[in-house]
């Protein structure tokens, strides 16, 4: 499965591999600085979405703001999973020790991967995510830890949407931590620090 990406081998083999999913208009390099802060020494796999919207990379199509093309989302979810399997074989990282770090559109594809494949990630930092799919019975997420970064004044994502996603993941067995900030849809330094503290508490 072809996806533009960058892989950086980490210096600490005891650390997990972080898989990075950018927001709309980003690329495989966008979240590298954040990932280096979250887990120094980890191997990093940055992926670029295969969909273009007005020239801006995304991981799946949408019909309008906040309205996803669900058929495309499902197909792209399976596409990314196939890529992760191939990348694990190519680069030699342990597919059982992956941490997703996704922002906005990237958080949504990471969330969809969890809802389709369960423990595809041992942990996931979802920064300003939405509920990717409704009406799907997720597999067990027991043993999976999820951090959700959310904005109380996010103009794109309501508080109720964040709470619905938290309930969906928790109901499937995930251990969910939510960090609220007042930075709208932007990533904040406090949110990044909270994600780092959360990740430091995980065992791999």
Q: What are the tens digits of pLDDT across the range 15-38? A: 999 999 999 999 999 999 999 999
User: HSE-up of 200 (CA within 13 Å, CB side)?
Assistant: 9
Tokens matching residue 193:
């620090």
Q: Where are the domains of the chain?
A: 5-200
CA distance 143 to 193: 23
Could you count the other beta carbons within 10 Å of the beta carbon of residue 39?
24
pTM of the predicted model, to two decimals?
0.97
Architecture in CATH of 5-200 = 3-Layer(aba) Sandwich (3.40)
pLDDT score of 104 more than 90: yes
Half-sphere exposure of 14 (CA within 13 A, CB side): 3
Q: How far apart are CA 96 and CA 106, in angstroms?
A: 20
Collapsing DSSP to helix, strand or coil, 91 comes out as helix
Contacts by 174-177, CB closer than 8 A, 24 or more apart = 174/114, 174/141, 174/142, 174/144, 174/145, 174/146, 175/144, 175/145, 175/146, 176/145, 176/146, 176/147, 176/148, 177/145, 177/146, 177/147, 177/148
pLDDT cut 90: percent of the chain above it: 93
CA dihedral 8, 11, 16, 21 (to 10 degrees): -20
Question: What six digits make up the tokens of 194?
Answer: 């909270």
**pLDDT tens digit sequence for 72-89:** 999 999 999 999 999 999
Residue 125's closest CA among 147, 151, 105, 98?
A: 147
53 pLDDT tier (thresholds 50, 70, 90): very high
- Catalytic residue numbers read 104, 154, 185
Rounded CA separation 10/161 (Å): 35
């Amino acid at each position: 499965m072809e996806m533009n990406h960058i892989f950086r081998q980490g210096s600490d083999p005891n650390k997990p591999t972080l898989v990075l999913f950018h927001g709309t208009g980003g690329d495989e390099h966008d979240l590298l600085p954040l990932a280096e802060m979250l887990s120094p020494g980890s191997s990093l796999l940055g992926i670029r979405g295969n969909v273009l919207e007005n020239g801006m990379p995304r991981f799946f199509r949408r019909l309008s703001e906040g309205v996803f093309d669900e058929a495309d989302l499902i197909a792209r979810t399976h596409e990314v999973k196939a890529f992760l399997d191939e990348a694990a074989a190519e680069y030699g990282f342990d597919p059982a020790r992956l941490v997703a770090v996704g922002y906005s559109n990237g958080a949504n594809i990471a969330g969809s991967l969890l809802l389709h494949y369960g423990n595809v990630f041992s942990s996931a930092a979802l920064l300003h995510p939405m509920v990717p799919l409704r009406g799907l019975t997720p597999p067990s997420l027991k043993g999976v830890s999820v951090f959700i970064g959310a904005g109380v004044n996010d103009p794109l994502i309501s508080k109720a949407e964040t709470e619905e996603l938290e309930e969906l993941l928790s109901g499937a067995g995930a251990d969910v931590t939510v960090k609220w900030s007042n930075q709208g849809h932007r990533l904040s330094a406090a949110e990044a620090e909270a994600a780092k503290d959360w990740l430091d508490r995980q065992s791999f």
